[in-house]
Structure 1
């Protein structure tokens, strides 16, 4: 028989040993039996159990969701215009010369050469408020084939707007323009058609069906036009008469042929004048552009870019400052006898050039380096022009592109 030993009261611990037989340990018979049916007969108890089950389910659900890996999506923020002076332009790889215009927002990614000048800071025009606020000209179509006398500051594009026509219709209706909108002059009379189309003088061997086919027009429209004196039953036409071809179009003019320069990999052009034969090429290491053009001046746009007009015309007063649209190297600064008058061409590098025509004077010489916003010349009326304005072109890899696609 086991005996228990009791430690003295001064001991830090006291332990006792009790005989097993003296412990009151409940047996299975002593545990009260619960009737499950009685358990669920109590409505309050049922509600408490249900509440506990719901809470337990919520906890398990939260834990399960927290362990899931949801797919991650990059947040796309809207793009806002940012000044080119606040950030470095993103680098764009230079594509080889494929003979096609560049298709990028900025025309290239440059390495900007530092520029030191003791003079005044250049004026950089980041918008043309006069062009932005320009209200559309109200068109007044004629009711019959009519004539219009060219006035000061008129352009083919502006005249077309007055009569609700495409500029090409004016050109196709007046053979003395010779497919060149710059061939208008003050006092000249132009044929004005009531709708877009072609006005054609009948030649030897012409028939109505042949004319309709050549100008890609509907034969019935030509025969039934109230502006043509044609018998539908017997559509006879006479050499020397004029016929209106509604909806007709002429073939686009063939572009000037390019010839590669023997001395460099750059391209030279004849007569039409991208780069004249006696102009220079920008030397290796010369200043290049920022890749983003600025406006060469502010003013109302009197004529936009279209098939026969490879630039935009901005109205000006004689002597107004003309600014370089970007950093570059002056490759042309001289008189051009093809209609441009006093002309400047700036080479911005990577196959991009800008032309400034009809100037009254120059502020630069061939071989000068210029920066964006620097005064390079002065507006005028030299060459073929009906009033003072700037004719501005953008040329990429030898092809004209619409300046409006490159200006801010």
Structure 2
């Protein structure tokens, strides 16, 4: 007898043992109950209860091991009819029953195909040869030479024309190792911009190196100092140190050391350092180029700066101002932005007058006013109305007395007015 027949016989035997015997109406009547009681007991049984009992039996059957079924001895021989019945029940029980989750185990053939695909892929990719291309290999960056570092700051940044900037790129590195001066004698027709272009430096370098306060007054025969690299000189003040100068000038510490051939950062008050690539303050540059000051009123001059006969005494006196013609009430504009330092009156002199302080040591004076539009401490911008033309103080008629001072000394306003 085959194993399948043993299994089917075992299943059939258990089902036969658990089979509930059909109740008879005669037996129920014998137990003391009436016919109606037995009948109603039968019809009250629900089909679901019968099915659940069958499921319980199947669950117990699944819980028994295959080893017991395989080696258990048959209780009795089975007839063909019982074998057929057991096979039918076995088929019914082999039907898959859903438990809410299922997982299909791949067959050995499927696993073999997957493994072969992986092997072929690894061989095709040449797994051992998967390395970064040579072009992406990181190489140590060579240390930047001091000459090239310095050159990046001394290359001229001239603003005049693109042609000048293009020529400035040809500066030789040999000229940037250590700072040095050279001399140049101004020729007829020269200007600050032309000289700067000739030596491939900025106008800031020419003006700051020679303390030029008025580029328009450059004369043939004047001797200028020309730096061999672009930048400006700086005079060390009390409280300065090299790190502070480096930050304020926006030039690296090492570049200043290299340009001035310094072995350490020790500096002295009054010492002059050359700061490669540094620039003058924009307002200071405009002042030196004569492009900073506006005429406070319409530019009609009645008395120039210089020696003249005093209108009250007739004696020669130096007139340190310009007199502009104007009618009473004509608006007066601030020649340059700054802070109003004084609003006052001098009956035996300037009459009503205003003094404004500007950057870089400049100061302007407006006198003989008929009215004020500002007060002391006000901050004004270039072109703001500050008062009106008048005839106050010692005056021969309505006009504006206008003066410019640089570091406490009067200078000719015509040299700075646009």
Fold shared per TM-score above 0.5: no
- TM-score (normalizing by structure 2): 0.31
Identify the structure with the greater helix proportion: 2
Q: Which has the higher contact order (CA 8 A, sep 6+)?
A: 1
- TM-score (normalizing by structure 1): 0.31
Larger radius of gyration: 2
